[in-house]
Chain A
Amino acid sequence: MTAELTFPLLSLMIAVPLVAALATALGGTLVTRRAAIVAALIDVGLAIAALVVHLADPSLALADPLDPLTWLFGHPVLRLDRLSAPLLVFAALISLVAVMVAPRTALRASLLRRNLFAQAVLLATFATREPAVMAAMWCLGALPPLLELRSAGAAGRPALRVFAIYMGAGAAAFIGGVALTGGEHGLLASVLLVLAVMIRKGIFPLHSWMPELFEHAPLGVSTLFNAPQVGAYVAATLVIPSEPAAALDVVGVASIITALYGSAMALVQRGARRAYGYIFMSQSALVMLGFECLSAEGVTGALAFWLSSGVALAGLGLALWVLEARRGALRVDRLHGGYERTPLLATMFLVFGVGTVGFPGTYGFVGQEMLLDGAVHVFPGLSVAVALASALGGLAVMRIYFSLFTGAPAQGGLTQRLHRRERLGFALLGAVLLVFGIWPRPAVELQSAVAAELLRARAVAVEGR
């Protein structure tokens, strides 16, 4: 009954960036960037092809003849399903834009290669459901930021340690959880997995590494590490089907607290990066909240908000990166002026900003509406906090916007318009955000089917228990 398409789509997708990284091992920055852009473009193309193939016939199984790990597990490891197909596009897109807009002031060949590596790891993560592979990718994924922090020298040392401690703990929990799954310590396994996810998603109180990372690592690297929200993928594939009911509530409440805490903390930050870090933490936590609702609305909302917040936050972070390259370190407790110097960047920043907090007309609004609907049934009292978090988040975003782009223009300030590649990169992300904001139906339908699947899987697992 299952038709099969034999084409090494997924393995190619993972191989391309790795090959690009290897091929340019000795190349200079510019060559590497070109290679990285090409690699990301190919990946986006492949991912879209995969999505189209999948949407055309959802029953079509994709057999990957080059799947490198089949021999080890005895069955194909890479797989394409309704959850992963859009995620691959999403991950490839963010990688593409990150390398496109990366400012040359921050650019080194090593950073680009690390990004390529991160891209491969990310795609591999989203293309598998094999826990062991995911665990391996989980560990590998943390390498690029780690290396970046290390190359920052003494100034990045404390942040490096904080990051290493948290990621180490997270990885240990994840590996432990994976190892114990299916055994007699099923409960412990679930708890460990939940812990791992909470760390990786920066859920309160396990979040402190996140603002630190954003503050000290290059924004492109930290954005690429966080924006795809690998933690959410793990939650969707490994945690939700097996998570004990009590943990659900704990994570749900913790997510709400995170959302509120993050957006409130963003209001009192002085540095733009840290403020952005807290906004990131706050908004991405809402995704977890949606999953914990275990209702069709909630999970669909989580999936929608996952993508929308991922895109919007990536755009916001990258816009900040690009702006930093032009102006140096940015503070948000004063007005810098300079709207006239970079009008388009200001507008894009505003679009990503309001998209992050779910402004009507952006895809974020759709996700947030469903999330709230889902949350109010499960956490009726606390859903006020969700609303408050989104209110404060909006305020924090506007505060950052105003401080970065308004105020008296500096005398003799140069016009620093966006380059073409920067414009193109931001336009891509902005278009995704706005097109699905105005016409969300196809995306929501797909996500609602995925949500139904996830919930069914959980129902099966719970019954089985």
Chain B
Amino acid sequence: MSWSLFDALVKAALGLPAALLFTLGAASLLSRPLTERLTSALARAVFGLTALALLIAAGLSVPLEAQHHTISLGHWFVAGATSFELRLLADPLSLTFSTLCVVLIGVVAVFSDRYLHREPGYNRYFVSLCLFSLGILLVVLAGSIEVVFAGWEMVGLSSALLIAFFHERPAPVRNGLWTLAVYRTTDLGLLGAAVLIHHIAHTGNFDAFLGASWPEGPSPLSSGQASAVGALLLFATLGKGAQLPFSGWLARAMEGPTPSSAIFYGALSVHAGAFLLLRMGPVLDQAPAVAAMAVVFGLGTAIHATMVGRAQSDIKTALAYASLTQVGIILVEIGLGLRWIPLIHMLGHASVRSLQLLRSPSLLHDFQRLEVAVGGHLPRTGRYLERLLPPRVRRRLYAAALARWRLDELLLRVITPALGLLRALDRLEHRWCAWLGGRAADGSEVRRDG
């Protein structure tokens, strides 16, 4: 009986946000968007109930000893040997993290209701937020790699749409597209891992390659297989988690409304990668090389981010890099084979950072209060560097930090020639058609650079 209640609760935790998304989306598609009041009431109810459901489920999981409990929502479709099963996994990892997710999303939804009051994009915002919440819950509660992937894609799209939320200005749109480009590229890692796992195990279910109980595993994959899968997963993590060399997008992502920045880039979205690696811990255990890579990338990112963040003079960018620093460290912890510490670190960091981001518009107020408390101007930070380093080195470090290590430029150096090549091919196409169509190659229709 308890198990059935437990299952029902976990299913509800997924079903409620999905229903909300469906309601909001259908209403907008029918050109009858819900009013602010109704949207807010629904969102409060849904996220409140979801949080409640997950809290109870988490509570129940203790007496039930739910170490590794799978819940099937049925076969979504079957084709040949492939079956796509909607499978959820409830274990300490997914239950704790999903509970935090829902609590944070609920708080942000309530916050946003007041924050976005009378904003023309109010409805659009809540649709994206729902898409995100469904996505992140799928990622967290997933019991198979396909479900992770589906959630992963939803998180990515909602992220891009919310960065570009203020779409009258070009900068948010540009940065949204940039972020999406990073996401889509690195999502290949997850897609590749999913396909590879299917290839190896003929199913994407976690049991087939993670072993019975998180975090022990052990993964039935061979070391070679685990390395390949792990490397692909790590690649996916680098994108979503804004690790080197993709870190640039996180600062660009601060274009959206403050609460969405808080939930995405302070709290959940940025940790999704780390969560994935944590979930796939048993695979990493089998693939020490990949674990070592995780340490290297995480450490590199943490150093990069802490340096860059310290030179930033606007609060949101500074917080973005502060966030990144911790995500990098969490990755290091995961790479070192720890499981519980990174989980706790993640939970704590997500809470602190989202609060800080939500408070970021009050910075001036806080600053003045601190000055009152301290009884003078606040002491200057970072003086030790002046004692430790010669000015020349300091200047170089500072310039590098201010330029954010030119990471985006680095990516552009890959992208620009590729686009150049494509443009050349495009010109060729035009010339070919022109020739075939009996038109001079430099005829009136030919554009300057194609």
Contact = CB atoms under 8 A, between A and B. Distances in A.
Q: Are A and B bound to each other?
A: yes
Interface of A: 155, 157-162, 165, 208, 211-212, 261, 264-265, 267-270, 295-297, 300-301, 335, 337, 339-340, 344, 347-348, 351, 354, 359-361, 365-366, 369-370, 372-373, 376-377, 380, 383-384, 387-388, 390-392, 394-395, 398-399, 402, 405-409, 423, 427, 430, 440-441, 444-445, 447-448, 451
A387 B419 contact: no
Nearest to A163: B437
A297 B176 contact: no
A208 B192 contact: no
B197 to A, nearest CB: 11
Given A268-B426, A380-B199, A395-B180, A445 B164 contact: no
Given A208-B429, A268-B423, A448-B79, 10 more contacts: A208-B436, A296-B82, A335-B170, A373-B82, A384-B192, A398-B160, A402-B167, A406-B168, A407-B173, A444-B79
Contacts, number: 160
Given A158-B437, A158-B445, A391 B146 contact: no
- The size bracket of the interface on B is 35 or more
Contact of A265 (B176, B181, B188, B425): B425
B78 A391 contact: no
16 contacts: A212-B437, A265-B422, A265-B426, A268-B422, A270-B450, A296-B79, A297-B80, A351-B29, A361-B150, A387-B191, A387-B192, A398-B177, A402-B177, A405-B167, A407-B170, A441-B75
B2 interface: no
Given A165-B436, A340-B120, A445 B78 contact: yes
B207 interface: no
Contacts of B434: 158
A267 B419 contact: yes
A335 B31 CA distance: 24
Contacts of A339: 167
A384 B75 CA distance: 27
B229 to A, nearest CB: 13
A295 B447 CA distance: 44
A158 B437 CA distance: 4
9 smallest CB-CB distances across A and B, nearest first, come from A296-B80, A158-B437, A406-B167, A360-B150, A444-B77, A300-B79, A391-B184, A158-B439, A268-B422
Contacts of A361: 150, 154
A321 B80 CA distance: 39
Contacts of B195: 372-373, 376, 383, 387
B169 interface: yes
Interface string B406-432: 000000000000010011011001001
Contacts of B157: 354, 359
B136 to A, nearest CB: 13
A307 to B, nearest CB: 14
B436 A162 contact: yes
B76 interface: yes
A394 B183 CA distance: 11
Nearest to B185: A391
A340 B123 CA distance: 13
A399 B195 CA distance: 27
A359 B80 contact: no
A407 B167 contact: yes
B65 to A, nearest CB: 33
Nearest to B168: A408
B277 to A, nearest CB: 20
Given A360-B154, A398-B160, A297 B188 contact: no
Given A366-B77, A423-B31, A268 B419 contact: yes
Interface in B43-73: none
A186 B262 CA distance: 65
Contacts of B31: 344, 423
A390 B160 CA distance: 17
A216 to B, nearest CB: 9
A162 B433 contact: yes
Nearest to B434: A158
A157 B134 CA distance: 51
A364 to B, nearest CB: 11
A208 B432 contact: yes
A335 B79 CA distance: 42
B173 A395 contact: no
B199 A377 contact: yes
B38 interface: no
A234 to B, nearest CB: 23
B164 A406 contact: yes
B170 A296 contact: no
B181 A395 contact: yes
A440 B28 CA distance: 23
B77 to A, nearest CB: 4
A335 B160 CA distance: 16
B81 interface: yes
Contacts of B149: 360
Contact of A387 (B168, B170, B181, B188): B188
Contacts of B224: none
Interface string B155-191: 0010010001001111001001100110011011001
B198 interface: yes
A261 B418 CA distance: 12
Quick one: which of A377, A398, A444 has the most chain B CB within 10 A? A398
B26 to A, nearest CB: 9
Nearest to B444: A155
Contacts of A373: 82, 195, 198
Contacts of B170: 335, 407-408
Given A335-B170, A354-B157, A444 B78 contact: yes
Given A208-B433, A373-B198, A296 B184 contact: no
B36 interface: no
A408 B169 CA distance: 6
B382 interface: no
Nearest to B131: A361
Contacts of B81: 296-297
Contacts of B447: 270
B198 A158 contact: no
A153 to B, nearest CB: 13
A392 B184 CA distance: 7
B83 to A, nearest CB: 10
A348 B30 CA distance: 11
B184 A440 contact: no
Contacts of A398: 160, 177, 180
B438 A161 contact: yes
Nearest to A340: B120
Contact of A264 (B76, B78, B169, B422): B422
A421 to B, nearest CB: 14
Contact of A158 (B169, B425, B438): B438
A301 B195 CA distance: 15
Nearest to B77: A444
A311 to B, nearest CB: 16
Interface string B127-159: 000000000000000000010011101100100
A399 B177 contact: yes
Contacts of B198: 373, 376
Contacts of A337: 168
A135 to B, nearest CB: 24
Which of B160, B185, B425, B426 has most A Cβ within 10 Å?
Answer: B426
B160 A344 contact: no
B168 A211 contact: no
Contact of A211 (B76, B146, B177, B429): B429
B103 to A, nearest CB: 25
A88 to B, nearest CB: 22
Given A211-B429, A373-B198, A402-B173, A162 B437 contact: yes
